[in-house]
Amino acid sequence: MQKFLLQGLLRSALTEQAPTPDAASMAELGYTLERTARAKLGRSLSIREVDAGSCNGCELEIHALNNAYYDLERFGIRFVASPRHADVLLVTGPVTKNMREALERTYAATPDPKWVIAVGDCAFDGGVFCGSYACIGAVAKVVPVDLHIRGCPPDPTTLLKGLIAFVDNMQ
Amino acid sequence: MNFASKQTAAQPSRPTCLPWPREVVDRAGWLAMVESLAKGERALLSLWGESSCVHMALLEQREPPLRIVTLECPDGAFPSVGRLHPPASRLERAIHDLYGLKPEGASDQRPWLDHGRWGVRQPCGARQEIDTTCDRYEFLRAEGEPLHQIPVGPVHAGIIEPGHFRFSANGETVVRLEERLGFAHKGIDQLMSGASIERAAQIAARVSGDSTVAYSLAFAQAIEAAFDVNVPPRAIYLRALMAELERLANHFGDIGGICNDAAFSLMQAHCNLVRERILREAASAFGHRLMMDRITPGGTLVDLKPESATALYAMTDWIALMTPRLIALFGDTTSLQDRTVGTGFVSEALVKQYACGGYVGRASGRAFDARKAIGYAPYPHLAFEVGASNEGDVDARVWVRFDEIRASLKIVRQILDETPEGPIIAAWALPDDWTREGAALVEGFRGDIFVWLRMRADGVVQRCHLRDPSWFQWPLLEAAIKDNIVADFPLCNKSFNCSYSGHDL
């Protein structure tokens, strides 16, 4: 373990240092996000993720936001364990009928002011599961949605850009 | 390839399924199979329904390795398999929920996927419209003075899929865990019926997002078996390359996640770096981080460029360097071992009874791996060892994953060395008769994925059954957590990492 810790001290951070065009634009966008989130919410943005029946693809990419390359927390955005602590619900999936009530109750448990971001093509219109007896389809049919981040699944950079667009347009 | 335009008159269906035969048995034949399952003479691979018959896929100890039997049930009932062979129980409950076929004599007749919320009963059988309700669900009882219940889910604290866990605990010790699943049920059986091959392939790729390559491969192999398509060698190697990249990415993610659930986030931070690098290389080589929709019946949709192959060589070198360091970090951290060793034990007898695949089975002494047992191309031409352990605890499930990482690295290098040049998709003639049946068994990172499908004369899927490995792993998680403390549940759960979506369909 000492080796890893020592390396961590000696080596420069992986985050954002790679001079790829993506990384450069992300650093810039990250700065915007930090400023606007602070202006609007004072401190930080807390996100509660709700899987409303997705295939788990969106969750994998949302998870990736926490790795050292994207390191979402440096922008003051973090995932929280309870809707009671959340400003934003990040909802994925074609909202299965078996998950509808759970989603509604999670929304009701989130204190105002609150926002909903629908992630992925399924959350937008049901995606490939559109028309099933077991799915409602768009998240917007169940709870009011403030922003859609499209993709199947959206990659972490797209997610990050979407979050930035969201704070920029927050009422 | 254009599948849509072909229209042919209905012809009598071929009697058998490819590559493994399907035989229709009578009631006595069915019961004999059930008894042999209960005796452990063969293993249950899957059990699924259609409007008026049930099918059972069996793993044999002799050639052919796989056998499919069918029982017609004109009166809407069939002799329960779960009555004598418990691994079939949830599959039967799902058949009853979706097709309305009743398992006679089943000990557990509660609904499974149907929570009463669809507005319809038996959506794939004799549909009955109902008012949407919420069915009351009786959890199994655990009785005793000091016991209390802890309900968890379907919305969990982490970024994970939905499901409900009901713990009965005595202080900190779990006396009984009962799972209630079905929250991610999307009606895939019904969506598949009547879908074109292209659309069905898209749905199959989204049964379980973490196994999208494996599902696409299994679906493609079933179609190719049904229509006797010869996939070009280059495509076979590229598919295996994608499958191994998926396996590597998931195993690193899992190992990191397990350690994080034991509060050792350093390991997760480093494992996720490896995972991210794999996904980035996958995106640059194949155009999608999870490699979704890259495999199609007949071949692959993208070719591997020489520069991508070079980048993948470099990546495997780097992972081969990182892996021993991560192994040392895991193995040398005694506080972590304290959490993983002896936790969440599953016995060999149980994994064999449940024919439990993947790292869960292999960590408890069941060596089954479809890449070896079925030996689909190109794996018979590649040298690799599957992971194995007899310890059966969380620790063993981590070590088996490390073994598989080493095996996959070896496979990836061999594929990069040996991939032949040539076309990446088969030019197969549209058949005169679309009525075919095919099956496939493919090793995903989580275990063996079984697919059976029948095409209709007019060129669409009539019925496609996709069986996730989680069907036989979820019940064992209930056994694994027994007598452990509640706080070790996330650790046990992550060491299984069962799919909710793949199971709920």
Picking from A96, A128, A131, the nearest residue to B184 by CB comes out as A96
Pick from B451, B441, B44, B4: nearest CA to B207: B451
Which residues face B173 on adjacent strands? B170, B485
Q: Tell me how far the alpha carbon of residue B157 is from its chain's centroid.
A: 24
Picking from B158, B206, B283, the nearest residue to A55 by CB comes out as B206
CB contact set of B154 (below 8 Å; sequence gap of 6+)? A99, A102, B162, B163, B164, B183
Position B290 scores a pLDDT of: 96
Q: Tell me how far the alpha carbon of residue A81 is from its chain's centroid.
A: 14
- The tens-digit pLDDT sequence of chain B (505 residues) is 444 443 444 444 445 788 998 999 999 999 999 999 999 999 999 999 998 999 999 999 888 899 999 999 999 999 999 999 999 999 999 999 999 999 999 999 999 999 999 999 999 988 888 887 777 889 888 888 789 999 998 999 889 999 999 999 999 999 999 999 999 999 999 999 999 999 999 999 999 999 999 999 999 999 999 988 999 999 999 999 999 999 999 999 999 999 999 999 999 999 999 999 999 999 999 999 999 999 999 999 999 999 999 999 999 999 999 999 999 999 999 999 999 999 999 999 999 999 999 999 999 999 999 999 898 989 999 999 988 899 999 999 999 999 999 999 999 999 999 999 999 999 876 677 778 899 999 999 999 999 999 998 888 999 999 999 999 999 999 999 999 999 999 999 999 999 999 999 8
Position B8 scores a pLDDT of: 40
Q: List pLDDT tens digits, range B312-362.
A: 999 999 999 999 999 999 999 999 999 999 999 999 999 999 999 999 999
Q: Residue B504: closest CA among chain A residues belongs to which residue? A: A53
Residue B246: which H helix or E strand, with range? helix B233-261
CA distance A5 to chain B (A): 9
What span, in angstroms and rounded, lies between the C-alpha atoms of B412 and B426?
23
* DSSP SS3 for B14: coil
Cβ contact B191–A131 (<8 Å): yes
* DSSP SS3 for A81: coil
- Kindly report the number of other CB atoms within 10 A of residue B285's CB atom: 24
Position A160 scores a pLDDT of: 86
Position A34 scores a pLDDT of: 58
Pick from B88, B296, B276: nearest CA to B201: B296
Cβ contact B162–A69 (<8 Å): no
Instruction: Please give the full DSSP string across A23-71, using - where no structure is assigned.
Output: HHHHHHHHHHHHHHHHHHHTT-EEEEEEESS--SHHHHHHHHTTSTTT-
Pick from B70, B113, B107: nearest CA to B91: B113
* DSSP SS3 for A2: helix
The answer to whether the beta carbons of residues A103 and A123 sit under 8 Å apart is no
Q: List pLDDT tens digits, range A86-130.
A: 999 999 999 999 999 999 999 999 998 888 999 999 999 999 999
**Which residues of A are less than 8 Å from B203 in CB distance?**
128-129
Pick from B497, B493, B500, B498: nearest CA to B174: B493
Instruction: Please give the full DSSP string across B337-400, using - where no structure is assigned.
Output: HHHHTTSS---HHHHHHTT--HHHHHTTT----HHHHT--TTGGGS-------S--SHHHHHHH
* DSSP SS3 for A78: strand
CA distance A140 to chain B (A): 18
Cβ contact A82–B253 (<8 Å): no
What span, in angstroms and rounded, lies between the C-alpha atoms of A22 and B334?
40
Position B366 scores a pLDDT of: 93
Q: What percent of chain A is predicted at pLDDT more than 70?
A: 81
CB contact set of B15 (below 8 Å; sequence gap of 6+)? none
- Kindly report the number of other CB atoms within 10 A of residue B162's CB atom: 26
- Domains in chain B (CATH in brackets) are 3-129 (3.30.460.80), 188-504 (1.10.645.10)
Number of helices followed by number of strands (H, E) in chain B: 16, 16
ipTM field: 0.91
Q: Tell me how far the alpha carbon of residue B198 is from its chain's centroid.
A: 21
Answer whether the bond into residue B378 is a cis peptide, omega within 30°: yes
The answer to whether the beta carbons of residues B246 and B213 sit under 8 Å apart is yes
Burial of B386 (0-12, 13-18, 19+ CB in 10 A): middle
Cβ contact A134–B123 (<8 Å): yes
What span, in angstroms and rounded, lies between the C-alpha atoms of B153 and B166?
9
Mutate to test the interface with A, among B130, B155, B181, B335 (most CBs of A within 10 A): B155
CA distance A30 to chain B (A): 19
What span, in angstroms and rounded, lies between the C-alpha atoms of B471 and B467?
7
What span, in angstroms and rounded, lies between the C-alpha atoms of A89 and A95?
14
pLDDT band at A23 (very low <50, low <70, confident <90, very high): very low
What span, in angstroms and rounded, lies between the C-alpha atoms of A118 and A49?
10
pLDDT band at A32 (very low <50, low <70, confident <90, very high): low
Pick from A72, A67, A68, A69: nearest CA to A90: A72
Query: For chain A, what percentages of helix, strand and coil (3-state, to nearest 5) are there?
Result: 50, 15, 35
**Which residues of B are less than 8 Å from A82 in CB distance?**
157
pLDDT at A31 over 60: no
For B486, left (φ over 0), alpha (ψ -120 to 50), or beta? alpha
What span, in angstroms and rounded, lies between the C-alpha atoms of B438 and B16?
9
Q: List pLDDT tens digits, range A121-165.
A: 999 999 999 999 999 999 999 999 988 889 999 999 889 888 877
Output the pTM of the full model: 0.92
Interface of A with B in 28-67 (CB under 8 A): 49-64, 66-67
* Residue that has been written with the tokens 């005694």 in this structure: B334
pLDDT at A24 over 60: no
What span, in angstroms and rounded, lies between the C-alpha atoms of A121 and B493?
28
Residue type for position B102: K
Which residues face A51 on adjacent strands? A92
What span, in angstroms and rounded, lies between the C-alpha atoms of B47 and B89?
10
Residue type for position B135: D
What span, in angstroms and rounded, lies between the C-alpha atoms of B359 and B387?
8
